[in-house]
Amino acid sequence: MSRHETVIGLEIHAQLKTESKIFCSCSTRFGGEPNENTCPVCFGMPGVLPVLNKKAVEYGIKMALAVDCRINSRSIFARKNYFYPDLPKGYQISQYEEPLAEHGRISILSGDGEKVIGITRIHMEEDAGKSIHSSTENVSYVDLNRTGVPLLEIVSEPDMRTPREAVAYLKALRGILLYLEICDGNMEEGSFRCDANVSIRPRGQEEYGTRTEIKNMNSFRHVQKALEYEVGRQIDLVEDGEKVVQETRLFDVEKGVTRSMRGKEEAHDYRYFPDPDLTPLIIDPDWVEILRADLPELPIARQKRFVSDYSLPDADALVLTSEKDLADFFETAVAEYNQPKKICNWIMGELLGKLNERGLSISGAKITPGQLAALVRLVDEDKISGKIAKQVFVEVFDKGIDPEKVVEEKGLVQISDSSALEAVVDEVLGAHPDEVQRYKDGQKKLLGFFVGRIIKETKGQANPGVVNKIRSRKLG
């Protein structure tokens, strides 16, 4: 065990899936023409006033409730002042002194059992625009479509002790956002972003070491790699008698290292003050109670239910419930055909394998839960063999046609009819008199040869049980 203990805290920015922006009625749609979804509020024109989106507040409250936060009945919007062209007003509207919610917690599973991570605060703010820096000319291009998209910033306590725990926390938080259907959780497109504060300290020491802030991690894998690198870097510094400098570092995806972004640090004086354009946000406790009553089942609860109701192994239940759509797919299939373990196996094996191979998510797949259930039923009813079922699955997956139809059109029905199979058995035995003689003389391992031939003759459609019966009757 290392002499050093790692301390990690995470700041998450989650884009909320509202139809319109947080302080104006422009669309939040991603993609499209640059500056298409903008207005004088987005442009920071003099005299415009922000008007808060009720849905954004509702989503913030839902998230706060899902992670057991205390919701502040009065919260304050503040101006965070800095200059950057993708923020035309010269300040970002955020929350500072009195955030929407505080003091929450979330359970994570990281392989070392269940652990509770504290949530310091959740606040609301507006997203900034995007700029593209010209490589040939001395200019930057600014697109304000993202300006004003509602964000929830979720700040954790420095409770994580390994990069793996940090990733488990991120996954748990993302899972909740997806279950609440308030964020699409896409790390590559930036609708779910993560910055990490990392430090080390001698094991047993109370006081925290000097921390660095790590940015630019666009996937769970990046988070894991960036944090592992950064922890190693800090340990090397300290063991060489040097000091960790408090700074912001960017993860370099290509090289797998973190790099200092010097120069930006010094200017960090945001001069927060309450935004006079927005009155304090007063939250009616009745509204909170209505939202609380309406909360869906959350991932951890659903995972535990999958283990108890369907007798699934913990690991399978964790994978199935990690994505709401996947868990819904499973439960819809089980409602069609009550064989949870078999359906789970097909999802864990063939379905996730194919989705991975094609880079698809379950919501983008053509196969329906009913079709998967029907396929499992076909095998159980001996209509097709397990081997044929895998072929049928690929057809259903690619084309979204019913498995019964695939079986019928391709003539894949399992042959269980003894008289039909008997003819095939006779044919195979007749074609190999030498082998038959050797078998009868005691070379019993030729059995596999015969069965293989018979199955091949029927293109895999022979019912192996029936074949075996006929064979033993004929050959003894």
Task: List interacting residues with another protein (CB under 8 A).
Answer: 18-20, 25-29, 33-40, 43, 45, 51-57, 76, 81, 83-85, 98, 131-134, 137-144, 267, 269, 271, 274, 276, 278-282
Q: Give the C-alpha separation, 91 to 295, whole Å.
A: 34
Q: Give the C-alpha separation, 425 to 275, whole Å.
A: 86
Q: How far is the CB of 93 from another protein (least distance, A)?
A: 13
Q: How far is the CB of 262 from another protein (least distance, A)?
A: 13
Q: How far is the CB of 45 from another protein (least distance, A)?
A: 7
Beta bridge partners of 59: none
In order of 352, 385, 462, the CA distances from 405 in angstroms are 23, 16, 19
In 59-111, DSSP assigns E strands to 70-71, 74-75, 77-81, 91-95, 101-109
Q: How far is the CB of 284 from another protein (least distance, A)?
A: 9
Closest by Cα among 388, 69, 28 to 190: 28
Contact 50, 279 (CB under 8 A): no
Question: How far is residue 447 CA from its own chain's centroid?
Answer: 49
User: Which strand (E) or helix (H) includes residue 119?
Assistant: strand 114-126
Question: CB-based contacts of 345: which residues, under 8 Å, 6+ apart?
Answer: none
Residue number, 133 or 445, with CB nearest to another protein: 133
Q: How far is the CB of 272 from another protein (least distance, A)?
A: 12
Q: Give the C-alpha separation, 290 to 346, whole Å.
A: 39
Residue number, 36 or 382, with CB nearest to another protein: 36
Q: Give the C-alpha separation, 173 to 63, whole Å.
A: 9
Closest by Cα among 80, 76, 93 to 272: 80
Residue number, 206 or 266, with CB nearest to another protein: 266
Q: How far is the CB of 178 from another protein (least distance, A)?
A: 19
Residue number, 131 or 368, with CB nearest to another protein: 131
Q: How far is the CB of 58 from another protein (least distance, A)?
A: 9
Residue number, 63 or 455, with CB nearest to another protein: 63
Q: How far is the CB of 290 from another protein (least distance, A)?
A: 15
Q: How far is the CB of 192 from another protein (least distance, A)?
A: 20
Q: How far is the CB of 43 from another protein (least distance, A)?
A: 6
Contact 243, 237 (CB under 8 A): yes
User: Which strand (E) or helix (H) includes residue 213?
Assistant: strand 212-215
Q: How far is the CB of 78 from another protein (least distance, A)?
A: 9
Residue number, 63 or 200, with CB nearest to another protein: 63
Beta bridge partners of 133: 140
Q: Give the C-alpha separation, 363 to 369, whole Å.
A: 11
Residue number, 46 or 442, with CB nearest to another protein: 46
Residue number, 151 or 374, with CB nearest to another protein: 151
How many other C-beta atoms can be found within 10 angstroms of the C-beta atom of residue 280?
A: 12
Residue number, 41 or 223, with CB nearest to another protein: 41
Residue number, 130 or 233, with CB nearest to another protein: 130
For the stretch 291-298, contacts whose Cβ atoms lie closer than 8 Å and that sit 24 or more positions apart, written own/partner, are 291/58, 291/61, 291/62, 291/65, 292/65, 295/62, 295/65, 295/66, 295/180, 296/179, 296/180, 297/179, 298/66, 298/175, 298/176, 298/179
Residue number, 15 or 234, with CB nearest to another protein: 15
Q: Give the C-alpha separation, 211 to 14, whole Å.
A: 23
Structure tokens at 468: 């075996």
